[in-house]
A and B are shown apart, each in its own frame.
Chain A
Amino acid sequence: MPTYLYCLVGPEAGVAVDGLAGIDGGVVRLLRAPPVVALVGDVNEGGLAPTAERIRAHDAVVRRALEVTTPLPARFGQLFPDDRAAAASIAARGAKLEQAMELVQGCVEMTVRVLFDDTPTIAGKVQEAENPTGAPILGAGRRYLLELQDRQRVEHIMLQRARLAQAKVADVVGKVVRMERLAAPAGESRTAVISHLIRRDSVAMYRDALRDADIGGLVLSGPWAPYSFAGDGDVG
């Protein structure tokens, strides 16, 4: 039965997993993989469909660890043939994992979604290039390139808006932010996501400061385990 990885913690973390159910109700256990300890569980053979229940179960295990320490959360879906293979793979990356854990130690992640009311209108270069009767005069290639240019212009504007919002938020909470990530809106999206790594004892101050600042269009969630700062997602 494959071994599923939830998160990693320090060897002295003292996470209690007794009675903790993971994905599909499976038992969660501690797996020593020096210099770290992994929270793992068994899952059935075959693919792991990413249902809402399983994703919640994954996060619930990570949150159990977050109650007593700062875990390094794993991305959903990582399977190993068995415990031995899991421990070997984790231990082989021990130095990088220790670095990543040190980076986030004592911290949590706060997520600020910035909801924009609208997106810039398409410039309409394609329409401008049509003749007054509306009959198409552009070749398919040129039409495609103009549309691509329009989309890039819109994304560029949205990126600037996202950076402006990021700066506004940073003015309010920047003093307690240790690291920051920005995901600007892409495609048709009107939402930018700002991820902040802050110390655990700063959460109340962070929330209060943002609430008092009354910046429109923000949705705050957290504290999360530091998913967005877990070694940039790849220590393999």
Chain B
Amino acid sequence: MTNLFDSGDSNEQLVLADLLNHVLDRGVVITGEVTLSVANIDLVKVGLSLMLAAAETTDVVQRQALLKQRDHADVPVLPRRP
């Protein structure tokens, strides 16, 4: 694998990706309302009494849960053919 250890200016895009990942998808959620919009169209407006998670995060969690279930419970992921 390529060694890209340093995260200096040459990897600015990767650092930006990290920044987006941290600020948009992590961090404490108190309550109230998160409203994100583009061109005056609300993209996300969620009452935070419900957990807010980026779609990607939710997807990852669901997929990992499926994989874990397959690993440990020996439950077939797909239904068996009759």
A interface residues with partner B (beta carbon < 8 Å): 5, 8, 46-50, 52, 55-56, 58-59, 72-81, 85-86, 89-90, 92-93, 97, 100, 109, 111, 113, 115-117, 145, 148-149, 152, 155-156, 159, 183-184, 186-187, 193, 210-211, 214-221, 224, 227-228, 230-231, 233-236
Contact = CB atoms under 8 A, between A and B. Distances in A.
Contacts of B60: 183-184, 186
Given A186-B56, A221-B7, A159 B64 contact: yes
Contacts of B45: 47
Q: Which secondary structure characterizes the binding site on chain A?
A: mixed
Contact of B63 (A47, A145, A155, A233): A155
Interface residues of B, number: 54
B31 A58 contact: no
Contacts of A148: 78
Nearest to B22: A227
Interface in B2-27: 2-7, 11, 14-16, 18-27
A115 B4 contact: yes
